[in-house]
Structures are given as C-alpha cells and as structure tokens.
C-alpha cells in the first residue's frame, strides 16, 4: 500500500469527505456539475481498501472505458498496482462479460463465446432477411437490430414478444409482421455459433442471476461493496443487475446527477436515481453542491433553468469562484449572421487556445453554417463524434449526382451513384462497365450510354436499368440549363427519392441524415441569396459545386498538434469542459426540439440537455439564436427558445440584433429611383403601395455585412436595378455588391 495514512482525505471538502467516509450501507451521492464526482468515487474506493476491505470484494461500474481507465490509474497511484488490479472495475458490459465467461456453461454457452459488435449483428440480421426473402427496404437490418436491442434491454424474450399482442400489433402496423420471426432466427443463430451480442451481455446476466440462485449468492458474497458511476444513465437491465447483486449486504454507493440525465433515447431511466431511496433501507444521501468549474454567473444561470423541472432531486449548486462575465445572449437576423457573430467573438477572445473553445448545437445538421463561416475566416475546427458537413455520406451522395450532371466523365461520382439508391446494378455489372471502358478508351458514363452499340453482355433487365440511369442524368443536364442550383437539387432529391431512402432508417442516425439533406438545401439557398448580392455572379450548379470544393479544400489538415475549436452536439459534450462555450440555435422547435412537446418528461429532458450545455463552460458562456433560417430551402421566422426566458435576467446580458434589410426585387417589386446629390448618393426604393424604404450610403461609410464582416464603401455607381457599392472588407477584400440585395448596415 502506497498510502498508509489518511492524508488524502485532506484533498476533500466537507461534503466530499462525508460521502467518502460512509463505507457501509446504501448511499447516494448527488453530484452537481463540476463538483468533483470522480474524485469522490476514486477516493471512496481507496478509503475502502485502506480500511481493510479486500479489493477482490469491490465492484466499480462505469459507463465508459475512458472513465474506468482514469479511475484505475488514479487508484493505482494511491494504493499500488497490485491492489488496484484486484478490484473488479470496468464498464457494465465488460464486467458482465467476465461473469458470463465464468458461468457460461450454466446458460448453454462455452467460456470462449464470441461477442458480436453492432456491425456483426447487422450483417447477421441482413443475411436472415435475405434468406427469408423479405423486402430489404421494409426490413432494414439496422432498424431491425435497434428493435431487437430495445426488446432485449426490456427483458422481452422471443416467447415474451409473441405473447405480447401490443408488440406484435405495433410491428404489423409498421408493415414488419415478420419482426418476431427474425428475432427468433437471430437468437437461434447466435446460440448455434456460441455468440452473444452486446445486449445479451446484460440480458443473459439477468437470466443467469434470476434462474440460478447459487450463482447469484456467489456474486452477492463476492461483491460486498458496489459502486456505480453515472447512475442516472442506467437502463432497466443495468438497474436490475445492480439491485440483485447488492441485495444481500446493501453496501452500495451510486453517484450521479439527475439534472444530467439525457439519454432516454438509449434506454436510460431517470427514475432509477430519483427512486433510489425507495429501493434500500436507510439510504444516506450526500449532495455535492460546490462547483469548482464555472463562474458564479454561469452556475446561477444553470440553476435558474433547471429549477423549472418538476421531476428532480432538490439541490442548490454554488461556487466560490468569481462572478465572471454575465452570460451573453444574442439574437441574430439569420443563422448565417449567427455563425458570423460567433467567428467575431472567437477572434476577439484573447490569451486562450482554440482548444479552450467549444461550439455546441442540438443536431449535427446545424454545423453547416458554422463550418462555412469558420472556413471563410480560416479558423481551424474539429467535428467531434462525426465528420464535417460536406463529408457526410448522404451529402457526398447528392454532391456526386450533381457533379455527374456537370461532368459526366467524373468516374468517382459515377461509381458512387450508379446504384444509389439501389436500382439493381450490382458489382458484377459495374466491373464489366469498368473493363469495357478501359478497352474502348471511354469514360464509364459514355460506356453505359453506348453499351448497346458496344454489344456489352448485359441482360435485357440490366440494360433497361442502365438506360434508365442515363436517361435520368441526361434529363437533369437539360434542366441544369434552365434551373438554379437550389431548384435543380431539390428536383433531383425528389426524383431519385433520396429522402424516402433515408427515412427507411428510423433510428436517430437516420433522422440526422434527413436533417443533413435538409441543411444542404438550406446551404444552397443561402448560396443563391449570396450570389444575388455580388455583381456578375452566377447561381448555377457549377458555381455552387466550385464554391463547395473551394470551401472544403480548406478543411483542416489532420495534425494532432494543431489548435482546433471543438464542434459537437450537446449530447457529446457531457463530461467535458471548456473555458468558452457557445450554444447556438436556441429557437423553439429546434431547441427544445419539436419532438419533445408531447410529454412533460420529454420537455424536461430537453431542459436537462440545456443544463448540461451551460455547465460545460468555465469562464464564458454565449447563447444565440436566429430570427430566421431556411428549412427545406424555405425561409421561416423563428421564435426564441423558452429556455432563454427561464434564465434569471440578473445573470445575463442581451445583445440586440443587427437588422440587414436587402430589398428583394422578386418579392417586393420595387422601382428604383436614383438622384445623386453632391458626394452623397441617396437611393430610394419605392413601390406601388407608395411605401418607401430609404437606404442612405455615401462613399467612405463604414458598414457591416452579414457574411463578410466590417468594411468601407469605396464607390457607389450604377442606375436603376444596377445600383452597386464597391466595399473594401477588412478580411475579404473588395466586393462589388448590388445594393437592392446587399445585406449591409451602417456602423
């Protein structure tokens, strides 16, 4: 033992100390954000060992391998490697897999059983669907795997499924009446191959403990002391296992924060922590309420928000840190203006690394305007938990179609979309096309176009499918001569039925892909509106694709030593902290999500998610929303999130928006009257309603632009619809802007 005294206890505050010293009996540690939860859990294990508890009798359960590794490392440094290794510590799945290997023979497996990961499971399910001759577009392997996973995590066996009329009817209504039979065949295949999937590690452990009392007694005796991290994230299966193992000695300590329960979509049940005191006798509750992470203003803002939840455990988080700056709330004319404002603030933050800054959003699709603005301003960033917007599969698929319309010789784009969505053109056919193209010195596209002339060995069925594909692209080549980039892309998406294809995946990931396609259309609409401002610019497809290519060329070099801003969803931010945090898109229907309005519990989880985002910030918190944004390419007006109004106004500063008022000729039908007077150019827009909007600019005026930032008007020239201003922007140089469209504001 490295530490034979209790000096380590001096590192703890009173609340942390009391939680650590409680060794016997059930206890719950309610740990507010930034309150030292991990330290308490770690020191409690050390204290148990230092007080004579056999390390072999301690079970510590975490949710991530990272958390387990960090705890092991710290514990090892305090009590020595030997004792540290004797503690059963790891994720739920890793610990229960270990138990199952010891006891496998009792449930019909051998100890060397294979564990199927998610991809293994999906491949097996896909094979079963094919063998059963089911429509793979209806029975999508990923969706079926998710359905089976949900069943297993709720202890619903195959027999249980077939005896539950509600479950069977639900799948019938979803046009998936064979779901139960797939589940049955899938389980039988797993058993035959001596394999378990991830969900089995929980389900089989429950079965083992329930059906074999001697095994339960064995592990109850073994694990006299049980500690569980992030207890608010446990699902029903995890809850029951922990309850069974701890039932004899009841020396159980759970640590968590009900205010950070945000994973109900993964099966987490907040009631596990809310009702913990009802599960055991004489539960002692410890509240870690001192926040060591954030300023007073941030802590108080978070408290005022979460106070609006009804289903919660009472606590009052506080801090001895400085008040710091107030939380900044800003409204913006559009999501583009919001992104530009963020870039300005980032560039104004002094004496910090970019790695100290995080931009958080509700959905992945929201990254698009932010990424565009960061690239425009040459600010390095990194997307966590995903890839940059234009590199997402569904976006690359659509862009490949668009590139092929522009350039039919683009072989990579051809290979990407020839069979997407699936149209019955398999790899064998594609390989024949490639060989024929090489032989005849033709592009892949021209080879298919001329496949009948070349007498290629395709069946009539395949030949028809190839011809239909060529006809599709040729039609859009013609359309490209008539339509702008937005209209053409929207028509293409509808014609190819890409949204229908993506909607077949009903998982959160599938929904996210649909949102990304929506955001691509929004981005194209933004591009078109931008092009209207710039003299002699085009809004066609070729120009848009060039713009995307130039943008993505800036994509960050993958240098691990480079300083990056972190971009991620709010869900992924849990457990992290940053000096400066931006939370964007705080609008009704976006955050809180429109999908959360059905029940109080769903809305309260959205509020907890907001609380998690707020409490990531150490020094500065910036909250923002847009008054308008595009949805499916249509401009909509947004209402600020109710969550913003729930923050006590004592802790915030509100920044008024800058209103840009371009005069859109398409909608206002205004006639332009130009009357020069000295050096001042007064431009009056008048319409048949006798309304007029006057924009007064003169050469030398300082102006601000939604996208390009601050600049100075160098020259004003032109007549009628062609009145233009040459503006020298400090970061982007000179731009020649049409004033009837220009998003300019005097400063």
Can you spell out the DSSP letters for 306-332? HTT-SSS-----B--S---SPEEEEEE
Are the C-beta atoms of 43 and 20 separated by less than 8 Å? yes
Any catalytic annotation for residue 229? yes
Buried residues in 621-652 as b, exposed as e (16+ CB within 10 A):
bbbbbbbebbeebeeeebebbebbeebeeebb
Max distance between CA atoms of the chain, in angstroms, equals: 99
Q: Which of 122, 230, 279, 587 is catalytic?
A: 230
- Residue 604 half-sphere exposure toward CB, CA atoms < 13 A: 15
Q: Which of 616, 629, 740, 743 is catalytic?
A: 616
Q: Cα(321)–Cα(293) distance, rounded to whole angstroms?
A: 8
Minimal CA–CA distance to 616: which of 648, 569, 649? 569
Helix axes 236-246, 92-103, angle to 10 degrees: 60
Q: Cα(12)–Cα(719) distance, rounded to whole angstroms?
A: 74
Q: How many residues does the chain have?
A: 747
**E runs forming strands in 46-109:** 58-62, 88-91
> Six-digit token pair at 373?
């603005």
Q: Which of 83, 197, 229, 505 is catalytic?
A: 229
Minimal CA–CA distance to 503: which of 521, 489, 517? 517
Are the C-beta atoms of 192 and 142 separated by less than 8 Å? no
Are the C-beta atoms of 53 and 79 separated by less than 8 Å? no
Any catalytic annotation for residue 38? yes
Question: Strand, helix or coil at 46?
Answer: helix
Minimal CA–CA distance to 226: which of 92, 76, 324? 92
**E runs forming strands in 570-665:** 578-583, 617-626, 628-631, 634-637, 652-655
> Six-digit token pair at 90?
């790891």
614 burial level (CB within 10 Å; 0-12, 13-18, 19+): buried
DSSP β-bridge partners for residue 581: 358, 621
Any catalytic annotation for residue 37? yes
Any catalytic annotation for residue 344? no
Any catalytic annotation for residue 260? yes
Are the C-beta atoms of 713 and 697 separated by less than 8 Å? yes
Any catalytic annotation for residue 616? yes
Question: Strand, helix or coil at 176?
Answer: coil
Q: Which of 205, 260, 290, 569 is catalytic?
A: 260
Question: Strand, helix or coil at 688?
Answer: coil
Q: Cα(168)–Cα(249) distance, rounded to whole angstroms?
A: 41
Are the C-beta atoms of 179 and 144 separated by less than 8 Å? yes
**Which residue numbers are catalytic?**
37-38, 229-230, 260, 616
């Amino acid at each position: 033992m490295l530490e034979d005294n209790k000096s380590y206890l001096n590192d703890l505050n009173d609340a942390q100390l009391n939680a650590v010293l409680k060794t016997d009996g059930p206890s719950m540690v309610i740990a507010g954000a930034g309150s030292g939860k991990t330290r308490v859990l770690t020191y409690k294990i050390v204290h148990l060992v230092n007080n004579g508890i056999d390390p072999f009798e301690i079970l510590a359960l975490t949710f991530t391998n990272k958390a387990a590794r960090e705890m092991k490392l710290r514990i090892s440094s305090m009590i020595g490697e030997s004792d540290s290794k004797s503690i059963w510590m790891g994720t739920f799945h890793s610990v229960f897999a270990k138990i199952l290997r010891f006891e496998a023979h009792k449930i019909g497996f051998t100890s060397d059983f294979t564990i199927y990961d998610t991809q293994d499971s999906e491949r097996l399910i896909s094979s079963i669907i094919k063998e059963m001759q089911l429509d793979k577009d209806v029975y999508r392997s990923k969706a079926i795997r998710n359905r089976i996973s949900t069943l297993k995590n709720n202890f619903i066996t195959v027999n249980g499924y077939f005896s539950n009329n509600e479950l069977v009817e639900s799948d019938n209504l979803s046009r998936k009446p064979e779901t139960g039979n797939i589940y049955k065949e899938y389980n039988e295949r797993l058993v035959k191959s001596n394999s378990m999937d991830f969900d089995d590690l929980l389900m089989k452990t429950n079965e083992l403990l329930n059906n074999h009392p001697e095994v339960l007694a064995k592990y109850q005796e073994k694990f006299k002391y049980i500690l569980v991290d992030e207890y608010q994230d446990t699902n029903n299966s995890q809850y029951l296992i922990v309850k069974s193992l701890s039932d004899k000695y009841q020396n159980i300590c759970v640590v968590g924060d009900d205010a950070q329960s945000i994973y109900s979509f993964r099966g987490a049940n907040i009631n596990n922590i809310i009702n913990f005191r009802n599960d055991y006798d004489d539960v002692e509750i410890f509240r870690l309420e001192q926040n060591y992470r954030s300023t007073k203003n941030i802590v108080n803002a978070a408290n005022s928000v979460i106070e609006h939840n009804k289903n919660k455990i009472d606590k009052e988080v506080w801090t001895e840190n400085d008040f710091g700056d107030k939380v900044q709330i800003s409204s913006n004319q559009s999501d583009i203006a919001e992104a530009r404002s963020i870039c300005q603030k980032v560039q104004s933050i002094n004496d910090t690394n970019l790695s100290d800054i995080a931009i958080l959003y509700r959905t992945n699709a929201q990254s698009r305007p932010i990424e565009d603005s960061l690239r425009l301003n040459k600010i390095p960033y990194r997307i966590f938990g995903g890839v940059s917007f234009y590199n997402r599969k569904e976006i690359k698929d659509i862009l490949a179609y668009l590139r092929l319309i522009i350039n039919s010789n683009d072989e990579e784009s051809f290979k990407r979309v020839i069979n997407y969505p699936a149209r019955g053109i398999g790899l064998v056919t594609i390989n024949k096309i490639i060989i024929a193209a090489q032989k005849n010195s033709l592009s892949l596209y021209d080879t298919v176009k001329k496949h009948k002339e070349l007498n290629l060995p395709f069946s009539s069925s395949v030949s028809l499918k190839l011809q239909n594909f060529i006809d599709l692209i040729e039609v859009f080549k013609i359309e490209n001569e008539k339509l702008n980039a937005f209209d053409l892309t929207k028509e293409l998406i509808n014609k190819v039925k890409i949204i229908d294809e993506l909607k077949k995946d009903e998982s959160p990931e599938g929904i996210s892909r649909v949102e990304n396609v929506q955001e691509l259309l929004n981005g194209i609409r933004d591009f078109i509106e931008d092009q209207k401002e710039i003299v002699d610019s085009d809004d066609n497809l070729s120009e848009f694709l060039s713009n995307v290519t130039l943008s993505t060329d800036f994509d960050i070099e993958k240098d691990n030593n480079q300083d990056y801003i972190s971009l991620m969803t709010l869900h992924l931010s849990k457990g992290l902290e940053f000096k400066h945090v931006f939370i964007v898109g705080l609008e009704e229907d976006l955050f809180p999500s429109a999908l959360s309005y059905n029940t109080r519990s769903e809305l309260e989880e959205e509020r907890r998610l907001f609380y998690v985002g707020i409490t990531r910030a150490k020094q500065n918190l910036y909250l923002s929303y847009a008054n308008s944004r595009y949805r499916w390419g249509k401009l909509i007006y947004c209402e600020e999130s109710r969550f913003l109004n729930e923050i006590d106004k004592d802790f915030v500063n509100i920044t008024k928006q800058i209103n840009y008022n371009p005069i859109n000729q398409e909608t206002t039908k205004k006639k332009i009257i130009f009357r020069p007077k000295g050096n001042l150019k007064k431009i009056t827009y008048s319409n048949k309603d006798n309304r007029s909007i006057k924009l007064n600019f003169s050469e030398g005026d300082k102006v601000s632009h939604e996208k390009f930032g601050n600049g100075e008007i160098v020259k004003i020239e032109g007549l009628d619809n062609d009145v233009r201003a040459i503006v020298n922007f400090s970061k982007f140089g000179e731009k020649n802007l049409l004033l009837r469209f220009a998003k300019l504001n005097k400063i």
